[in-house]
Structure 1
């Protein structure tokens, strides 16, 4: 609790309910995909869990926690980028566009889902995330996550990120791309095959995130709430 505590908002007036107990209940509910009323009584009233999850999610506490903790232990010498699909449950499939970006849910051959783009360090630990609707190009996530990349080497899978403009953007930031060229290229592109093998670590990271029920299946209509669940899962699994 000493590591995430600096990211918690300060208490104003009456002291808050025990942060450790409430945070543990929030983790339990997200990992198992439960309603807050179904959480064990040891974690306190369901109303407290609901209010704390909503307030801290809207304030961006879980996102700041996930982005702040990697500064103390990340290995940015090699960064990896990839994307995966997260199934949207029927309770989250309302496609009515309201204010903002809407639901960020799209229809693909596999049904209704959301696409999660991620950047991970050399050990496969997430550094940054970006959410889009299902039928969106991987380049959209690559552009959004480009600012999160630092100097080093970039590993990415061939079919999604082999573009001249993306390679030029990486080299402009001092990043050496390790991306195999497409078969349709006239001239072959050289890359470090040994480093490219390590790309499976970001795929393992996606698999571990999907062990959390609320991440593997999206129940939340609001993309901000769903992104908070992803950030919390990444923090607990990789940075605490």
Structure 2
């Protein structure tokens, strides 16, 4: 945890981080944080500072590196997305032209059937532990986000060597069966198990020999796609994740990283 060189004596880090976990777990506002976790101003200020500095993201990468060094990461990666409702308070961000350069312009807020929503794109390992996340507005299609999501997988090495970024295999549903997504994974040498849409099958049949062969699909491997759904269920046990209360995408992503870190810590 980063520490200030000067100033008044700090509140213990464990006490403040426990307050952050309590807030994300229960979904309460910062002002309602119990006094045993220090003042809510201290917890909120430190959480916001850690979010901007990427403290929780680095902590998540460190625990992933140690687990990978022990050979306990299953690189049969599943990707999927889920939509969470954003309260009207989450839309009270700065006016146009005054947003921070380290924040996305739309703060990952969009309009869909559920009014203000945010879509969480998740890549998890074969044991149901998060490897990478991507936040987008709720109306963003899954196939557009497949490439940036896979590029966010980055597990460092405990010793020398470059981080591991390439899964052994990717499992996804029909939303990720576009030709562009398949071409990208083929270029990186990543095998995938993704069912083909009916209109894509019909288009390939209409082209005859020029349509090419159907993509490989293993039904037995595809049955493991429920792992990513179970991972979403565990993460949504945190009420601060199930409903978005944070105004900025950086704070909401930091909360998601902290919840993901707890899932990894429980499984080690």
- TM-score under structure 1 length normalisation: 0.89
**Please, what is the CA RMSD of the aligned residues?**
1.9
Gaps of 5+ in 1: 1-7
Match of 1:162 among 173, 177, 181: 177
- Cα gap change, 1:218 to 1:151, in 2 (>3 Å): closer
Matches within 5 A, 1:21-60: 21-60=15-54
The answer to whether the 8 A contact 1:107-1:134 is kept is: yes
Shift in Å at residue 129 of structure 1? 0.6
Distance across 2 between alignment mates of 1:235 and 1:219: 20
Gaps of 5+ in 2: 154-164, 205-212
Match of 1:9 among 2, 15, 25: 2
Distance across 2 between alignment mates of 1:73 and 1:171: 28
Matches within 5 A, 1:3-152: 8-13=1-6, 16-74=10-68, 75-94=73-92, 97-98=96-97, 99=99, 100-147=104-151, 148=153, 149-152=165-168
Asked if residue 191 in structure 1 is aligned to residue 217 in structure 2, the reply is: yes
Distance across 2 between alignment mates of 1:165 and 1:115: 21
Distance across 2 between alignment mates of 1:111 and 1:45: 34
Aligned to 1:124, the other structure's residue is in SS state: coil
Large movers: runs of 4+ above 4 Å: 94-98
Distance across 2 between alignment mates of 1:12 and 1:56: 16
- How many aligned residue pairs are there? 232
Distance across 2 between alignment mates of 1:62 and 1:151: 23
Aligned to 2:107, the other structure's residue is in SS state: coil
Shift in Å at residue 107 of structure 1? 1.0
Distance across 1 between alignment mates of 2:74 and 2:246: 32
- TM-score under structure 2 length normalisation: 0.80
Aligned to 1:199, the other structure's residue is in SS state: helix
Q: 2:169: which partner in 1?
A: 153
Shift in Å at residue 164 of structure 1? 2.1
Match of 2:232 among 199, 206, 217: 206
Match of 1:171 among 173, 186, 189: 186
Shift in Å at residue 190 of structure 1? 2.8
Distance across 2 between alignment mates of 1:214 and 1:41: 19
The answer to whether the 8 A contact 1:151-1:174 is kept is: no
